[in-house]
Chains A and B, each alone.
Chain A
Amino acid sequence: MTSPVWARRRAAAGRVWREFAANRGGLVGVVVLGLFVLTAILAPLLISESSLDVTRATGQRLESPSGDFPLGTDENGLSVLTLTLWGTRLSLVVGLAAAVLSVLIGTTVGILAGHFGGWLSAVLLRFTDFFLIMPSLVLAIALSAVLEGGAGTIILAIGVVSWPTSARLVRAQTLAVEARPYIERARALGGGHGHVIFKHVLPSVLPLVFVNTTLAVGTAIVAESTLRFLGLGSTSEITWGGLLRSASSSGAITYGAWWYLLPPGIAIVLLVLAFTLVGRALETVLNPKLRERR
């Protein structure tokens, strides 16, 4: 595609980036995020499999921080620092995947409900409302118990229960876009549903979807850690929520093992905060409402 449309879009993207880069909070968020991503990617290079293997643990149970173990050890004598770094991988991936899945479902439902009126829209909206009132945590717990398994199950459980909010947002945006004259024009020129949806609606909904996803990742990460803390998902996977569950079931609170309880929790908070900062910065840049007013 070399059409001027794409050139214009590229220019728009450049402008968005410049505006975003001027937002220091967002930038800091991006940097923190980058550090986490880097940790996740480099973890296998820095950490050998054997340092995660309880049968080869070198430390004692719940050792306090020392030169050998900068953040002490867990109940099996493994380094908490190593475990926390390693936990970045799954927590990040699951958070991202769950958010993407949730927004994907939400966007599809939202666009369909907004574009096609009539009974389809009515049914989809009813469905959305239904999911909106469900006690999401209870539903997610039941789902992950039914599906049994590892990260995949958790992703699915979070994705399936958390899409309705984005469906509503996207539907509203779709309705707003479709009310614009140029859509009328496109229709009059013989553009089918596919043309309207993919050429016009989707591109103008995408910024919103993007912002939405970024913000949703934060909540998905918290949701993931909550489910893990409740003991769902495969416990052989190393995640922050799972670490906190082990910490609290192995008596770390009584033992005063703050080095075991704090790092995974702080990691969760920092990562969620980073996504939220980036999301909010993006929002100020991309918010269609703001842009239209300009």
Chain B
Amino acid sequence: MTDFLAPVEETIAEAPPPQRGGGAVRYLLTKVGGAIMSVLMVVVLGFFLFRVMPGDPVTIMTRGRPVSGAQLDQLRAEHGFDQPILVQFWNYLVGLLHGDFGNSYAFNAPAGAIIGERLGPTLLLSGTAAVLAAALGLWLGAKTAWYRNGPLDRASTGVALVFWSIPPWWLGVVLLMIAGGVFPTGGMQSPDSPTALVPHALDVAHHMVLPVFTLVLAIYGQYQLVMRASLLEEMNSDYLTTARAKGLRDDMVRRRHALPNALLPTTTLVFLHLGMVVSGAITVEAVYSWPGLGQLTAEALEAKDLPLLQGIFIVLVIAVVIMNLVADVLLRVLDPRVRAS
């Protein structure tokens, strides 16, 4: 489940209503403006939210180690925790303006660099899973809608509902128990992964089998259900009746007319969700030790690594915002109803 809190049917309502003609630039500007404001709010929230979480970062840092009081104070001063909160906030803002998320103390490196390092694996995992899930979901959705109430529809829509109800991490744990003996159970590559491109890619692909399979099963269901619903809606439209009346073959009507139109809201949904997939993958990444952003989030929370948490939070939100914008633009560009006018 990508957007781990949104019910299936509602997600379709998130798609922006197609607006007709003119004002395209204005429309886009409003969207971009809103997005920027949201990001600004997140910048502020990110700073204070994680700071009110319990725990003294310095104590966590040195847990179980022989350290003296003076060393603790020294560490505290070094990370600026001895300064007033507003001064800390100001430093954080100034840092952000320079593109600096601060220094992660759990990894002793710039938070930005660490996040960058984890972004790739996450995009690879979530991206692959999203593409496969979308392909599977759209295809099954189209099939089930077309043959609605047929045995295929009944069986596969039922299965989709079941998978949609399964917590992804539980699916991961069960798959680990079943198939852990066959596929790699953790990580993205072997430590001695071959350096040549193709063998390396195969090694990574081998490690991806279980996590991707888990994620695909967890998210394809809602794409299928939404695709089925929107195709059914299209098929009830007047223009299809007209098309059929004109004597077009059924198959033709489906492929030329209903399908493209129904694909629109669903594809938009896929993009809207792409940004969410990253944070949704937290638990699956944890089960399979996937070195991505989701796992980094869990690690940062555990260490109460404030610079890292703030950075991740902002990056995740920006990802969602960008995907939303892409979805908006996509809809405007692709929707023939918008283009026609």
Interface on A for B, CB 8 Å cutoff? 126, 129-130, 132-143, 145-146, 148, 158, 161-162, 165-166, 168-169, 172, 212, 215-216, 218-220, 222-223, 225-226, 229-230, 241, 244, 248, 253, 256, 258, 261-262, 265, 268-269, 272-273, 276-277, 279-280, 283
Contacts and interface: CB of A to CB of B under 8 A. Distances in A.
B34 A261 contact: no
Interface string B1-41: 10111111111011000000000000000000010011001
Contacts of A172: 13
Given A141-B301, A265-B174, A273-B162, A135 B167 contact: no
Interface in B165-192: 165-167, 169-170, 173-174, 176-177, 180
B167 A129 contact: no
A269 B166 contact: yes
Given A130-B41, A141-B301, A222-B1, 4 more contacts: A135-B313, A165-B14, A212-B10, A280-B9
A126 B40 CA distance: 12
B295 to A, nearest CB: 12
Contacts of B52: 146
Please report whether the interface of chain A is mostly helix, strand, loop or mixed according to DSSP: helix
Nearest to B166: A269
B223 interface: no
21 contacts: A133-B38, A133-B275, A135-B279, A135-B316, A138-B312, A139-B49, A148-B54, A165-B13, A166-B10, A215-B9, A218-B7, A222-B165, A226-B4, A229-B167, A229-B170, A253-B173, A262-B174, A265-B166, A268-B165, A268-B166, A276-B8
Contacts of B297: 138
Contact of A168 (B14, B50, B167, B312): B14
Contacts of B13: 165, 168-169, 172
A276 B164 contact: yes
A260 to B, nearest CB: 11
Contacts of A169: 10, 13
Interface in B264-278: 275-276, 278
A249 to B, nearest CB: 11
Nearest to B286: A230
B42 interface: yes
Interface stretch (B132-140, B197-205, B255-263, B317-325): B317-325
A281 B180 CA distance: 39
Given A129-B34, A165-B6, A283-B9, A229 B321 contact: no
B109 interface: no
B167 A225 contact: yes
Choose among A142, A169, A244 the residue with the greatest number of B CB atoms under 10 Å from its CB: A142
Choose among B4, B6, B7, B173 the residue with the greatest number of A CB atoms under 10 Å from its CB: B7
Interface in B291-341: 297-298, 301, 309, 312-313, 316-317, 320-321, 324
A269 B309 CA distance: 32
Contacts of B161: 273, 276-277
B283 interface: yes
